Amino acid sequence: MKKISEIVRNVRDESGLSQNDFARKIGVSSIYISKIETDQKEVSKKFLIKLAEFIDVHPSALAPFLFLNNDIDEYKLSEIERKLINLGENLQLSLIKKKLNNEKIAEH
């Protein structure tokens, strides 16, 4: 299950930006981005909204599994729950890639 730190890193990596440049575009400090990506800081609702605006998606597209974490014993989940989570993560990553690739094309 992807943590929000991994999602932030995926968005930044797909955008091709350094932490510093990404932070500037989002409107936060690079230290904040670094702490989020290393799980030293929780994201705020305001940050999720800024991140969603950056890639032009609804915030719920970035955090539909907000209450899932790596402490969950996956063996306690049913097969359908595991498949649903996996599908959601794959769709989320596809959406991020598509949105950021469309923006790169529009810039050129």
Q: In angstroms, rounded to a whole number, what is the distance separating the alpha carbons of residues 29 and 18?
A: 12
Q: In angstroms, rounded to a whole number, what is the distance separating the alpha carbons of residues 23 and 14?
A: 14
Amino acid at 89: E
CA separation, residue 104 to residues 29, 53, 55, 94, 99 (Å)? 23, 16, 11, 15, 9
List the domains of the chain with CATH numbers.
4-107 (1.10.260.40)
User: Given this model, what pLDDT does residue 89 score?
Assistant: 82
Could you state, in chain order, the average pLDDT of each consecutive group of 10 residues for the chain (108 residues)? Answer: 85 94 96 96 91 87 65 73 81 87 70
Amino acid at 105: I
User: Given this model, what pLDDT does residue 59 score?
Assistant: 82
- Give the HSE-up count for residue 15: Cα atoms under 13 Å, Cβ half-sphere: 21
User: Given this model, what pLDDT does residue 9 score?
Assistant: 94
Please indicate, yes or no, whether the overall pTM of this predicted structure exceeds 0.75: no
Q: In angstroms, rounded to a whole number, what is the distance separating the alpha carbons of residues 39 and 17?
A: 19
- Tokens 């705020």 locate to 44
User: Given this model, what pLDDT does residue 69 score?
Assistant: 56
User: Given this model, what pLDDT does residue 61 score?
Assistant: 80
User: Given this model, what pLDDT does residue 80 score?
Assistant: 84
Task: Evaluate whether 32 touches 101 at the Cβ level (below 8 Å).
Answer: no
